[in-house]
């Protein structure tokens, strides 16, 4: 009998805790009835961004961006189009000191630099600044002018521009130095690295394009150069990458924090006697 009563108590406790929690979660998803903030997915979906729809990028961004949500961040997105995700970033990163930048090319823009208008800026995000630049992401001169005008020091860069692998690499290598320690750089729509050479995207052909995915795979060796006598197959520019994540149709890189640089990435390997000769081939297959 005691065992039976114990089972009843456990069942009631489980219903109260887990059942109630599920009920709370369901209510918050359906209408945020408990005053909880909207999720990044819901915000971008309401803005009409395909990051929450077809691509499903919010399942990666949610966990990467959540800790920055209330911070005064500087974010730039390449590929403005109609400004759908720009609206979403302003709603999600709602700190009054946040500044959202956009880079667009070949769409509705006419000026080198404009403040976000009603087509992009949302009424609820008026407290945060929003600026859009017009230019070609494959043009290093334009990117340099953008950095000079904006001041750089970005916490987040999102490349949703032309999707051309060569453009993605030029943009990364130009903007990566402007990422602050601990900041994030995302390359979306890497699917084009798998396309045929006669494929076309936004009027650009894939002929002669080298895979951005294949290129970024070498970042793993740059991160682990401690174990290869400090050698890396990539330029020194890549030496301050802390982590790289390959996800479905996107790549996310995080820059080293100052602590990481000081304590982990500038040291001599403790088992140096076991490393290959300097200049020797990698054993990795």
* pLDDT at 26 > cutoff 60: no
Please give the pLDDT value at position 21: 32
* pLDDT at 37 > cutoff 60: yes
Q: Taking a C-beta distance cutoff of 8 angstroms, is the pair 67, 97 a contact?
A: no
> Could you give the CA distance from residue 130 to residue 120 in angstroms, rounded to a whole number?
9
Computed on alpha carbons and rounded to an integer, the radius of gyration of the chain in Å comes to 23
> Could you give the CA distance from residue 40 to residue 26 in angstroms, rounded to a whole number?
17
Higher pLDDT, 203 or 253: 253
> What percent of the chain is predicted at pLDDT more than 70?
81
* pLDDT at 79 > cutoff 50: yes
Count of other CB atoms within 10 angstroms of residue 171: 25
* pLDDT at 123 > cutoff 80: no
Please give the pLDDT value at position 217: 97
Please give the pLDDT value at position 148: 97
> Could you give the CA distance from residue 61 to residue 69 in angstroms, rounded to a whole number?
11
The string of pLDDT tens digits covering residues 44-69 is 999 889 999 899 999 999 999 999 99
Please, which residues have CB within 8 angstroms of residue 180's CB and are 6 or more apart in sequence? Answer: 153, 154, 155, 255
Q: Taking a C-beta distance cutoff of 8 angstroms, is the pair 162, 201 a contact?
A: yes
Q: State pTM to two decimals.
A: 0.84
The string of pLDDT tens digits covering residues 160-213 is 999 999 999 999 999 999 999 999 999 999 999 999 999 999 989 999 999 999
């Amino acid at each position: 009998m005691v065992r039976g009563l114990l089972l009843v108590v456990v069942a009631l406790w489980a219903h109260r805790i887990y059942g109630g929690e599920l009920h709370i979660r369901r209510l918050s998803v359906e209408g945020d009835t408990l005053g909880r903030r909207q999720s990044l997915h819901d915000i971008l979906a309401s803005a009409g961004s395909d990051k929450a729809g077809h691509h499903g990028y919010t399942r990666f961004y949610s966990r990467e961006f959540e800790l920055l949500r209330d911070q005064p961040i500087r974010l730039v997105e390449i590929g403005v189009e109609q400004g759908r995700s720009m609206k979403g970033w302003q709603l999600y990163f709602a700190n009054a000191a946040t500044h959202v930048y956009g880079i667009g090319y070949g769409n509705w823009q006419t000026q080198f630099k404009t403040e976000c208008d009603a087509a992009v800026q949302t009424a609820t995000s008026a407290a945060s600044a929003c600026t859009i630049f017009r230019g070609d992401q494959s043009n290093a001169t334009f990117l340099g002018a953008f950095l000079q005008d904006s001041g750089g020091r970005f916490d987040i860069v999102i490349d949703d521009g032309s999707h051309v692998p060569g453009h993605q690499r030029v943009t990364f290598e130009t903007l990566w130095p402007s990422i602050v320690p601990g900041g994030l750089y995302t390359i979306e729509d890497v699917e084009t690295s798998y396309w045929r050479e006669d494929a076309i995207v936004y009027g650009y052909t894939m002929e002669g394009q080298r895979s951005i995915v294949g290129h970024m795979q070498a970042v793993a060796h740059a991160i682990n150069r401690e174990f290869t006598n400090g050698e890396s197959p990539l330029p020194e520019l890549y030496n301050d990458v802390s982590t790289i994540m390959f996800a479905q149709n996107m790549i996310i890189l995080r820059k080293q924090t100052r602590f990481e640089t000081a304590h982990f990435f500038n040291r001599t390997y403790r088992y140096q006697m076991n490393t290959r000769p300097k200049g020797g081939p990698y054993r990795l297959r």
